[in-house]
Structure 1
Amino acid sequence: MQYNQRKWTKVSIDQNIEIQTFNEVYKKIDDEKYSDEVKEKVKLIENELNKEKIDKKQIRNSMNWLKNNAVGIAGIISPLIVKAFGA
C-alpha cells in the first residue's frame, strides 16, 4: 500500500508480473519479427547476467537501447534482470 502524500488518500498498487525465460523472449523476438540487433542486445544482457562479475553498465546501456527501440521486449526483460539480482 502507498499513500498519496498530498491528499493522504490510500492507494493500492497491484502488479502481476509474469517472469519469463530468455528462451521465451527470443521466441517473442522471432514471432514479432524484431531486428537482429534486438536479439543481440538481449543476448548481451543474458550473457552479463550469467557472469560471476556482472557489468551493470553494459546491462543499463542495452536496456536503454531496448527501451528506445523495442519497448515491448524491454518490458519483459526487466523482471528477469530484477530476478537475477535477487530483488
Structure 2
Amino acid sequence: MKTITIRYFASIREALGTGSETVQTSATTIEALRDELIARGGIHAEVLARGKAVRVALNQIMSSEAAELIDGAELAFFPPVTGG
C-alpha cells in the first residue's frame, strides 16, 4: 500500500468541500487512483468522472494519468485553467 496526499483545487475543491486528503491505495498509476476515487460514488464520481476535463499534477509536475504513483507522492486534481 502507498500513502498518497491528494490536493483538490478550484471548482473541484468547492464541490468536494475539502482541499486535501491522504489515502492508502494499491493503485500503481494516477488513472487507477482516479478510478478508485470515482468508485466512491457521490460527488467524487461526479467531479472526477471520465469525460470531465480534469488536469493532474504529480509532485507538482503536470502529468498524464499513465504516470506511476510512488509512496509519499502528492497528487493534485484541478479543472483546466482559462484566461483572458
Larger Rg belongs to: 1
Same fold judged by TM-score > 0.5? Answer: no
TM-score, length-scaled by structure 1: 0.31
Higher helix share goes to which structure?
Answer: 1
Q: Which has the higher strand share?
A: 2
- The higher-RCO structure (CA 8 Å, 6+ apart) is 2
Normalised TM-score (structure 2): 0.32
